[in-house]
Amino acid sequence: MDFKIIFVNPMTVVINLLLLSTVTDAICILPPELRNTEWIYKYTKPDDNQPITTTLRIQNTVLPQQSSVRFNALGTTMDAWTCISNLTLSDTESVAVFKSDTSYSDGPFGGNRRLYLCMKFTKVTDNLFYFYLLSDVDNTILPNERVFNPPENSIPDDSDPLCSTFCQYTSEPKIRTLQKTGTTDVVPSDAALCTPCESPCEEPYSTVAGHAFTATLPLGYTPVSIGSPIKYTLINSASIGSEYNAATGIYTVAKPGIYLISVSMMSGLLTASHLTIRKNADVLVWLYTNNDYDMASQTININLAANDKISVVVNSGSSLFSVYNTFSVLGPIE
């Protein structure tokens, strides 16, 4: 039999192990404003609803010993915590999980158990954060508090998925605040826990989910007939869909929602004119100009259903003058 002896350099093994361990270790980076600061920490005790004001020291990624977050678990004091994992959800929202530095045991064969704090933070300003503890109240520790206390036979790994492992709860937690000494920023009155754990919760900016367009009449006089929709033909739009039909002048709603509709008119020299903005057969608003190049305009916001038809109908008059006549639709606005 022929075989080779492969010489393995023990140093290489050590280096590989080190590299491996840095890759697989969970890491935590707290929001920069939170780090290395002593905070005024206000909360309501979950066991007796007493309001508490204390201080919470956060070093780079730890709540150092003799932290105000302190429990007694079967005789063992847990008052030092190290962040093991974080989740950044937006510029203001993040979740961080802290693990107790000490472990406790519930008997000679009980193994080592640790506690975990799952904090969902919202930054209000650099001087003010609020957070929720995303666990149910554990009655086996004193004082009773919202911590994750896994049984000895299912100790999670630090790198396990943060929300689904460490941040489970059934009863709604209460808000807690962290404020820098000497500052006066206040928590917004609508501050609330946004769920689930991995949701960024920020109010989305108003966005137009549909599209926007503006159409005008061409230069010169456009003859119009009473009772008919005006056919605005020159379309200035980055995002015209098939909803507006320039051959009929009718806009057919594709997506239900709130729309902004705007019409301006100029009747020129021939006759005074009335126009109406209509939803299906219903008149929404009127426009009127005299026959000396006056202008009128209307802008409305309206909730529309799919297949509603919006048009601008002539109620009196015989012609309109030039590109001063516009028809714009924007929506749906969320």
- Is 88 among the residues that bind ligand NAG (CB under 6 A)? yes
| One of 80, 87, 137, 285 touching ligand NAG (CB under 6 A) | 87
Closest distance of CB 88 from ligand NAG, Å = 4
- Is 258 among the residues that bind ligand NAG (CB under 6 A)? no
The strand pair at 128-133 and 62-63 is best described as: unpaired
For CA atoms 92, 126, 189, 83, the dihedral sign is positive
Closest distance of CB 175 from ligand NAG, Å = 22
- Is 165 among the residues that bind ligand NAG (CB under 6 A)? no
* Three-state secondary structure call for residue 240: coil
Task: Using the rule CB under 6 A, give the single segment among 40-48, 84-92, 311-319, 322-330 that binds ligand NAG.
Answer: 84-92
Contacts of residues 43-50 at CB distance under 8 Å and 24 or more positions apart, as own/partner, are 43/174, 43/175, 43/176, 43/177, 44/174, 44/176, 45/143, 45/145, 46/137, 46/144, 46/145, 46/146, 46/173, 46/174, 47/137, 47/143, 47/144, 47/145
- Is 163 among the residues that bind ligand NAG (CB under 6 A)? no
Residues 6+ apart with CB under 8 A from 278: 284, 309, 310, 311, 312, 313
Task: Using the rule CB under 6 A, give the single segment among 73-81, 83-91, 103-111, 258-266 that binds ligand NAG.
Answer: 83-91
> Closer to ligand NAG at the Cβ: 194 or 250?
194
- Is 195 among the residues that bind ligand NAG (CB under 6 A)? no
- Is 29 among the residues that bind ligand NAG (CB under 6 A)? yes
Q: Which residues bind ligand NAG (CB under 6 A)?
A: 29, 86-88
